[in-house]
Amino acid sequence: MARKAKRDLTMEEQLARGPLDLPFLMLVLLLLGIGLVMLFSASYYTAFRDSKPPVNNNPYFYITRQALYAGAGVAAMYLISRINYQHFRWMAPLALGVSIVLLIICYIPGLNAPINGVRRWLNILLVAGPTYQPSEIAKVAVVLFFAARLCKRDTEHKKRFTKRTATGRALNWLEKIGFLELVPYGAVLVVVLGLIVFEPHVSGALLVAVGAAAVLLVSGISLWWFIGLGGAGAAMVGLMYVTTDYVKMKFALWLDPWAADPRNEGFQFRQGMYSIASGGLLGRGLGNSNQKYGFVPEPENDMIFSIVVEELGLVGAFLILLLFALLILRGYWIALHARDKFGMLTVVGIITLLAAQTFFNIGVVTGLIPNTGISLPFFSYGGTALMIQLAEMGMILSISRQIPAPRKD
């Protein structure tokens, strides 16, 4: 029996099978590998001293779970990189809808998984087991939704209303200044940010807003809108500072962490600073941190960078920051060379999220900005968050496959 002839690949299949951007992939894997090593070093003692289930004094608890999630995340990254990224267009509204439903479930007793009275988490598939934050899904869902809509912005015709009535003239003016165009995006952000803020999870809402703002700005929305909204945001923070003791205390601890602290809320930051200061130029050596032995609370999470500096020193920390910078710059390079506007906007949104999260985490650890409670990508413990980060990297790699080849003169 004669063998069947191979089916010719369609244009879509040919585009989706282009070469991956190797520098971007190598940077992701390098940061992931270093992150796993540092997580093991930072979490070993904490896990060994924790007798509560499910840790049960197992020093390998955190690294074992994180490594399993990392392996699953790398597999997901590869599979997503094989998908033609044009499919993400129709997936975007579905992803946004699912993320909003999950955020609503966070408020339903019995279905959510509150920790210390905070409703940020759900159990996997709403059953007992590891928890995750729906806000992680919302971040990328908002970016995809905005990119899918705004990529068609240049081809859409402006709305025209009758000039015979005051209402029509007012609507024409609002359309002229771009207000009506922003209404659907503003409505989405009000819903998503409102659900996240009242969990409460202000830092998660901040990241969603940054990713959305990056996509809107690059798509061509007038810069004046961002200046106005930025001013309104600053005024809101000022109002919260005047009227809310909690916000006032956060700023006071940021401005003077060694001041009188009756609730001892600056303890984590102070211990992190001791950790950084003791690292010196070359560090104490991998695994030789002193502050991780019960001084820095939960060193495997938000404060892991302080342990990195203590063990690897200023030189090691600089090299890790350099790797993050190279990854971010390479991501923006992919955005500039993307095949179409949808790909460009998607990469800009995802890379800006990564850059903002890295900046906020390191800024908090070093005292540059007030405490925001944001983890360090690829380093901090959190399996589902790591998988979502790697899935986002897979989206960027999928877009990199379709970068047009340079012309040969």
Per domain, the residue ranges of the chain are 19-400
Both tokens assigned to 105:
């479930």
Reported as a pLDDT band with limits 50, 70 and 90, residue 259 is: low
Output the pTM of the full model. Answer: 0.89
Does the N-terminal peptide bond of residue 54 adopt cis geometry, omega within 30 degrees of 0? yes
Both tokens assigned to 21:
């951007």
| Better-predicted residue by pLDDT, 290 or 162 | 290
Examine the pLDDT at 2 and tell me if it is beyond 60. Answer: no
Both tokens assigned to 112:
């959510």
CA separation for the pair 102, 135 (Å, rounded): 9
Mean pLDDT, rounded, for 83-109: 91
CA separation for the pair 211, 160 (Å, rounded): 31
Residues 6+ apart with CB under 8 A from 108: none
CA separation for the pair 153, 341 (Å, rounded): 10
Reported as a pLDDT band with limits 50, 70 and 90, residue 5 is: very low
112 forms beta bridges with: 122
Q: What percent of the chain has pLDDT over 70?
A: 86
Residue with tokens 């068609």: 152
CA separation for the pair 328, 334 (Å, rounded): 10
pLDDT per residue over 342-378, tens digit each?
999 999 999 999 999 999 999 989 888 887 778 999 9
pLDDT per residue over 66-92, tens digit each?
999 999 999 999 999 999 999 999 999
Reported as a pLDDT band with limits 50, 70 and 90, residue 182 is: confident
Q: Tell me, what amino acid is at 194?
A: G
CA separation for the pair 384, 68 (Å, rounded): 11
Residue with tokens 């240049």: 154
Cα distances (Å, whole numbers) of residue 352 to 202, 207, 211: 18, 9, 6
Range of 199-208, 216-225, 334-343 with top mean pLDDT: 334-343
What confidence score (pLDDT) does residue 205 get?
Answer: 85
Please state the φ and ψ torsions of residue 200, each to the nearest 5 degrees.
-95, 145
Both tokens assigned to 214:
């990056």
